[in-house]
Amino acid sequence: MANIASIDQHKKGRAVNSVDEALECLQTQVSADMARVNETILARMHSPVALIPQLAGHLIASGGKRLRPMLTLAGAQLVDYKGDRHTKLAACVEFIHTATLLHDDVVDESDLRRGKDSANVLWGNKPSVLVGDFLFSRAFELMIEDGSLKVLKLLSHASSVIAEGEVLQLSISNDLDTPEESYLQVIEAKTAALFEAATQIAAVVAERPENEELALASFGRHFGIAFQLVDDALDYSARQATLGKTVGDDFREGKITLPVILAFRRGDETERAFWRRTIEEMDQKEGDLSHAIHLMETHEALSDTIERARHYGAIARDALALFKPNNTRKTLNDIVRFCVERAY
């Protein structure tokens, strides 16, 4: 059994239950719009091919927070949008996200998703990939129905960037010489691109000035980076088990994430030989995960990853300063803190 790293020493001043309250507050504020989003999701998941709604529904109903569509809805509230286009576009965002999860689990050969058997385990790789393609197609149908070329451009661009990020991640897989800049490129593409588009389209449909549109885009992009940095630290943390994932998945898959990059760079030759054996050569033995976590703690790789997340989270919060103070802005600020405090 691995000695799981604790990041508790970096907690500063906020009770754990306030993290949950921030998410609950956002869910409450957008609940009426989210009900319409869920109606759209259910309606557009329908297909006469029974396996499609069955497989897609398994993932969509498996307890995800719906964070990305909620950001679209909250962004619309922030800019005081009075129409109804944002709810279908929020459903579009969720379809894109769900499609990428189905594809990711196949590529990563994941067995669990949110604490439950992943779709590829239950139905196989081929159905998972094809249903992911179906959800992408549904997302593009919703974009076309919205009728805005700018919305179509933003969301289609985000979709292509996500795919590029997946390929880039494959290209650096198991490569310990990967620079931190390349790692950041991966998470900016895989995670931040959809966060950015999800928030920016709220300003687009509301026809807000360019400075507000760019501010929401900046909020989403930097929030997404912070979110992924924390995710990568959590893979080596005891908190991971409470979030529905097994500890050390990234290690077992040989993924190059910031905690690995920092521990490798800061280690001596013996330690680097360990990383090359376990990550590059994928020659892993019992006790290796515990030793990897020990090296990360020794070289402060986990805590420094969280500090970087704090940095990007601060940029995200600063972007919100352009908007008038209200409950939505406060809740979005709290959600960024929720992102970082997931590590505790």
Pick the closest to residue 74 from 196, 198, 157, 190 (CA basis): 198
Class of domain 14-335: mainly alpha
Euclidean distance between CA atoms 210 and 10, whole angstroms:
37
Give the pLDDT of residue 186. Answer: 97
57 pLDDT band, cuts 50/70/90, is confident
**Cβ neighbours, 10 Å, residue 99:** 24
The per-residue pLDDT for range 93-121, each reduced to its tens digit, is 999 999 999 998 888 777 766 667 788 88
Backbone angles phi, psi at 79, to 5 degrees: -100, 15
**Domain ranges (residues) in the chain:** 14-335
Q: Any idea which of 122-131, 270-279, 289-298 has the lowest mean pLDDT?
A: 122-131
Q: Any idea which of 101-115, 203-217, 281-295, 328-342 has the lowest mean pLDDT?
A: 101-115
The per-residue pLDDT for range 9-53, each reduced to its tens digit, is 444 434 334 567 888 899 999 999 999 999 999 999 999 999 999
Contacts with 115 (C-beta within 8 Å, 6 or more apart), sequence order: 63, 244, 245
Average pLDDT, the chain: 90
In this model, does residue 202 exceed pLDDT 80? yes
In this model, does residue 265 exceed pLDDT 90? yes
What are the Cα distances from residue 305, in Å, to 14, 167, 235, 241, 335?
19, 23, 12, 19, 19
CA dihedral 61, 64, 68, 71 (to 10 degrees): 100
